Chain A
Amino acid sequence: MKLQHNLGGLEGLDPINTETQVFVEPWEQRIFGIHTAMMALSNHLGDSLPDYAIEEVPTEFKSFWTWGHLRMGAEGMHPFDYFRLRYYEKWLGGISGFFISEGYITQEELDARTAELLEDSEKAAAPLPSGGAAEIDAQVLKYLQEGDSPLRELPTPPKFSVGDRVRVKNVSPGDHSRLPGHLKGHLAEVVLVYEGAFTYFFPTEDGIGVPMPVYSLAFKNEEIWPESLTEPNSLYYNDIFEVYLEAV
């Protein structure tokens, strides 16, 4: 079990930090932008529903990068690091590691460039290098506007119907999962069967990444947590891929 898959219901935490800014440090904007550009330039977009001529975009980025890749980095961390690091600090580590492991940059050149900026405040304040092909930014804008819908044809009819009781399987999450761990083994009612099937692009060890039905499930809180820890009159809804469910 990984703690970061099992966040739901943890006891003993602090009051909510109600900070409403999106970015709490200016540098966080830059790593958000880099991730979004990678999403927009990912090599899998050639197979997407929007018409992306991704192979013709003059970027050197030739890798497969989706939310699944980013999330896998955070989910694979030492759990104490997961909580020690702020949200975009996790992104920065994961994305830098990806560019190194895919051979675009080396750890040495990244470290050397970082040290240079830390030692020289003039360099740190200097503008970024200029240049780059306009077609790259055109593809990024096209991706923002047209997205990457995961909706596909149903390969087989959904196994469950509205009103069915289902149980969430107790599967090992592997490196990355879209199953909140606190739901495992618990019963829920199907309240909606989404039309069509949904892929996840990224194939996970626990079975998502191919088109399959997705259900909206309603969980009673007392089904998941001891009654003494729950509140009155609330319902918990979750969208769950079919592979994570079994008949009761």
Chain B
Amino acid sequence: MPSNYPGFKYGADRETVSAAKVKALESLLIEKGIITSNTVDSILGYFETEMGPFNGAKLVARAWVDPDFKARLLADCNAACEELDFPQGMSGAEGEHMRIVENTPEVHNIIVCTLCSCYPWPTLGLPPYWFKDPTFRARVVREPRKVLSEFGVELDDSVQVRVWDSSAQIRWWVLPMRPEGTDGMSEAELAALLTPEAMMGVATVKV
């Protein structure tokens, strides 16, 4: 991963030093009884198997095939999560108050957190690098169409772009449009089409 800006100088040992520092810290915290030797691994495992973008994908696929469910999801995301068979935790850490906004032919939504990287962990997992990068956070609020085009999404001027900045306690995400040519697909097949980027509003769903 290159630096964000080539004008800053970094030592060749940049990552080695950080890796040593964090290992030193983690080993001291274990020795001092603050965390256990398993704490960090179990947290990482939770986001690999329990809470991740696969949950959001299931919700979107259900919303695509069931208009009544879609209405409930848009009205109360946390309550709608209870209807599907998810592991415990959909209203847990960073998912306590989630809201989803719907893309339509007239409106395209994008999420951002200009102050940090607030993100709905239970439905989308942990945020990708680009979402945390200051360049995205700075640019998308003023020139969302230009940013979208760099992600490969071109929008007509007739489509209203709505940018949702999570500066308080709500965690936003996006219900993308169902692509054409998916009429016969099962919910599982539809869910497999979804990416975190589509559920953040910087990609369209492709078949």
| A-to-B contact residues, CB < 8 Å | 4-5, 7-10, 13-22, 24-27, 29-34, 36-37, 39-41, 58-61, 67, 71, 74, 82-84, 86-87, 89, 92, 95-96, 99, 104-105, 109-110, 113-114, 116-118, 124, 128-134, 136-137, 140-141, 143-151, 177-180, 182, 194, 198, 200, 214, 216, 221, 224-225, 229-241
Q: How far is the CB of A9 from chain B (nearest CB, A)?
A: 4
Known: A10-B139, A17-B133, A233-B159. A27 touches B23 (CB 8 A): yes
Let me know if B138 is at the binding interface, CB within 8 A: yes
Let me know if B26 is at the binding interface, CB within 8 A: yes
Contact indicator B18/A180 (Cβ below 8 Å): no
A225 to B24, CA, bound (A): 46
Known: A20-B197, A99-B25, A110-B28. A25 touches B145 (CB 8 A): no
> 10 nearest interchain CB pairs?
A132-B36, A33-B40, A113-B24, A239-B168, A24-B1, A145-B89, A27-B19, A234-B161, A19-B129, A117-B20
A66 to B132, CA, bound (A): 18
Question: Which of B2-10, B56-64, B65-73, B176-184 lies on the face that meets chain A?
Answer: B2-10
Contact indicator A87/B132 (Cβ below 8 Å): yes
Contact indicator B27/A16 (Cβ below 8 Å): no
A8 to B135, CA, bound (A): 9
Give the interface residue-count category, chain B. Answer: 35 or more
Contact indicator A130/B24 (Cβ below 8 Å): no
Contact indicator A237/B164 (Cβ below 8 Å): yes
Contact indicator B37/A131 (Cβ below 8 Å): yes
Closest A residue to B125 by CB, please name it.
Answer: A22
Q: Which among B31, B143, B151, B167 has the highest number of chain A CB atoms within 10 Å?
A: B167
Complex interface: chain A residues within 8 A of B12 (CB): none
- Residues 6-63 (chain B) with a chain A CB within 8 angstroms: 8, 15-44, 46, 50-51
Complex interface: chain B residues within 8 A of A83 (CB): 4-5, 8, 134
Let me know if B80 is at the binding interface, CB within 8 A: no
Let me know if B147 is at the binding interface, CB within 8 A: yes
Closest A residue to B157 by CB, please name it.
Answer: A232
Contact indicator B151/A147 (Cβ below 8 Å): no
Contact indicator B167/A180 (Cβ below 8 Å): yes
Complex interface: chain B residues within 8 A of A198 (CB): 168-169
A117 to B28, CA, bound (A): 13
Known: A178-B168, A231-B144, A238-B167. A140 touches B24 (CB 8 A): no
Q: How far is the CB of A145 from chain B (nearest CB, A)?
A: 4
A82 to B116, CA, bound (A): 12
Q: Which among A86, A113, A129 has the highest number of chain B CB atoms within 10 Å?
A: A86
Contact indicator B130/A19 (Cβ below 8 Å): yes
Complex interface: chain A residues within 8 A of B17 (CB): 114, 118
A7 to B142, CA, bound (A): 11
Q: Which among B115, B116, B158 has the highest number of chain A CB atoms within 10 Å?
A: B115
Let me know if B141 is at the binding interface, CB within 8 A: yes
Q: How far is the CB of A221 from chain B (nearest CB, A)?
A: 7
Complex interface: chain B residues within 8 A of A148 (CB): 93, 96
Let me know if B74 is at the binding interface, CB within 8 A: no
Complex interface: chain A residues within 8 A of B157 (CB): 232-233
Contact indicator A238/B165 (Cβ below 8 Å): yes
Contact indicator B1/A19 (Cβ below 8 Å): yes
Contact indicator B28/A7 (Cβ below 8 Å): no
10 new A-B contacts, CB < 8 A, other than A124-B20, A134-B36, are A8-B165, A27-B19, A59-B34, A83-B8, A84-B8, A87-B129, A117-B24, A132-B30, A143-B93, A235-B163
7 pairs of residues in contact across A and B, judged by CB atoms under 8 Å? A19-B1, A27-B18, A37-B40, A131-B37, A136-B39, A140-B39, A147-B96
Let me know if B95 is at the binding interface, CB within 8 A: yes
Q: How far is the CB of B36 from chain A (nearest CB, A)?
A: 2
Q: How far is the CB of A49 from chain B (nearest CB, A)?
A: 9
Let me know if B193 is at the binding interface, CB within 8 A: no
Contact indicator B126/A22 (Cβ below 8 Å): yes
- Residues 119-176 (chain B) with a chain A CB within 8 angstroms: 125-130, 132-139, 141-147, 150-151, 157-170
Complex interface: chain B residues within 8 A of A14 (CB): 4-5, 135
